[in-house]
Amino acid sequence: MNLLKALRIKPRGFLVAVYFILMDFSAFQKILIRNILKKYLENKARIKGEVFRCNALEGESAYDISINSDMTVSCNAQDYNGSGHIGDLNKSSLKEIFEGKIVNDFRKKLDEGKLPLIICARCPELVSAKKNKIKNKKNTVPSEGIMIENTVACDMMCKSCERETLLGCRKKISLSLNDLEKIAKEVLENKIKSVCFFNLGEPFLSKNIYQELEILKKHNKKLHIIVSTNGLHLDTDEKRKAIKYINHIAFSIDGVNNKILRKYQTNGNFETSYGNMKALVDYRNKNNLGGVIEWKYVLFNWNDKKVYIDQAIKLAKEAGVNKITFWPTGNPLWGISWRYYVKSYFKKFGLKNSKGVIEVNL
């Protein structure tokens, strides 16, 4: 049951999960299996007399609503093909988007026990329950937090990334500073508390990242800003000074050497990313700046042996980061860390949160 929960399948069909694991993951097969899972959930809801609710569309998510690099707005953080577009900030405000036809059509389908998108079947924002127990907050912009994709550019080429499809649906690679001004005012008007300044690109490929964050903070002095990076391009003091505006930055480094890391992060370089992470710690400390610096280590069945975990913790301490976290994942399913579920050493270090992430404070 723990494995199924981690896959966001819960009791959504053990046979479906097994089939997913055994499949080869071409784009066609992904679509096929997601459609199968979507139909399964809809039929299950119909039999049980249940309907669906989306926390993101009801304004209760702090993560999945994303303002994309071309100013379109998506209802989920994995909108590679644009099917989750709910509006465009070039044409409408956030409030108008959440009161608009697309969002209301999505809500209507959920109220009928149907999933508007195939990605909904694996989305953590999806909730199912008896109709009289579903409480909807109509036309609510999420005040807890949103995502801002300052650029969709990325050269990492991770194994499960659908980059070609993604680039085909973005009209613009990066946000302009004028775009950021408009977004910053939307954040202020809707009293949004936090921003995840990343999505499907590498934030530090933008040469203007310092100015972008400065604009957000200028209009929203108390805004909590979180950034996720692969670390490859955070390589100059001009970019490091962005830590002035960042409350929390996570370096996604999925291994302790190049051989291991490149099994998923194909164009990654451990020495470069680790070195840039360490350099940011030194820059922060030298300039008496704040900001939590985290090493985010996603677990796969090739990087999860005890010797690698121990080495990662040792290297994290040497780098001087605030914490290292170990993340189980179901994507790609053929890479799932089975040791995370069966090996006892994963119970002997750090603290596990409700998402199953093991956090080691240093």
Residue 17 has pLDDT above 50, yes or no: no
Residue 20 has pLDDT above 80, yes or no: no
Per-residue pLDDT band at 245 (split at 50, 70, 90): very high
What pLDDT is attached to residue 328?
Answer: 95
Nearest to 196 by CA among 244, 246, 240: 246
Beta bridge partners of 360: 324
Per-residue pLDDT band at 31 (split at 50, 70, 90): confident
Beta bridge partners of 145: 194
Total-model pTM: 0.88
Residue 32 has pLDDT above 90, yes or no: no
What pLDDT is attached to residue 134?
Answer: 67
Per-residue pLDDT band at 139 (split at 50, 70, 90): low
Per-residue pLDDT band at 181 (split at 50, 70, 90): very high
- DSSP string over 227-258: EEE-STT--SHHHHGGGGG-SEEEEE---SSH
Tens of pLDDT, residue by residue over 63-108, are: 899 999 999 999 999 899 999 999 999 999 999 999 999 999 999 9
Question: Phi and psi at residue 139, in whole multiples of 5°?
Answer: 55, 50
- DSSP string over 278-302: HHHHHHHHHTT---EEEEEEE--TT
Question: What are the angstrom distances between the C-alpha of 203 and each of 91, 152, 206, 210?
Answer: 25, 8, 6, 10
Tens of pLDDT, residue by residue over 271-320, are: 999 999 999 999 999 999 999 999 999 999 999 999 999 999 999 999 99
What pLDDT is attached to residue 6?
Answer: 40
Q: What angle do CA 329, 331, 334 make, to 5 degrees?
A: 100
Q: What is the mean pLDDT of residues 322-341?
A: 92
